Structure 1
Amino acid sequence: MRKNLFVDVALIAAVKTGTMQKVLVLCTGNSCRSQMAEGYLRYFAGSQAEIYSAGVETHGVNPKAIAIMAEDGIDISGHTSNNISEYTGIDFDYVITVCDNTKERCPVFPSKAIKFHHNFPDPAKSTDMEEFRRVRELIKEYCEKFVEENLETHGTI
């Protein structure tokens, strides 16, 4: 028998029945803050949840966000900038708005989604990479805490 091989029956059942928790991160343009949050939530949640991000507009993924996340070992280079309308058929468990503008413009979700809000500064307004790093660290801390406090732990396969 191989060491460190764990099979979590609850996780397998969740995947097979489609009951895995779903998290949506919303921002204005789905270019920086929501992309970084998606990257960290995927990292911290692992296989515990399906993570999505979108914007009320789409501005494309900011190259500085990709670079700053790569510095911390998180690859978001394959992410795309998505509009909230692309996800209207998904029954989210959690919706996190990461800027005040989006909170005010956030569409009503006809679902059981629990809504969270945290206004992060917009690093896209800065030319300074240090501002991107500062915001990245704020988002990282928030995402780690969010996963610890809200997502069910299913273990690993």
Structure 2
Amino acid sequence: MADLEIRAATAEDIPAIVGMLADDPLGAQRESPDDLQPYTTAYARLAGDPHQHLVVAVRDGRVVGTLQLTIIPGLSRRGSTRSIIEGVRIHADERGSGLGSRLIEWAVDESRRQDCQLVQLTSDATRTDAHRFYERLGFTASHVGFKRPL
């Protein structure tokens, strides 16, 4: 994995990121790689927020993975800062290569650098393979999540 670079995403990375987000049954239903405007707008908001870290993994000049790390200061847990890992995607050609573990390790290390006391993530209930992956990396299924569309 020495030939792998994990770096901040740029606007030029948006098509590759969206392509990975759309490359599974759930993503195919909710992502739209043919219209990048909403993603470009969202990227501008992310890039302007120091608590947001959208990163890509690059190998041989090609984006092969991505995730978003959000830092959230809070009052609960005695004023703890936490981080949330979201949007973890690995290019189909790279799945099983250890790249996902490297990206999560990066996010955990960055969370420590940001003085977080807790790192958390959510995963769709149907992504059972992802759940096993996160458990192997030391995450525990500890909460029940709820969502409300707006």
Q: Which has more helix, going by share of residues?
A: 1
Give the TM-score taking structure 2 as reference length: 0.32
Higher relative contact order (CA 8 A, sep 6+): 1
Give the TM-score taking structure 1 as reference length: 0.31
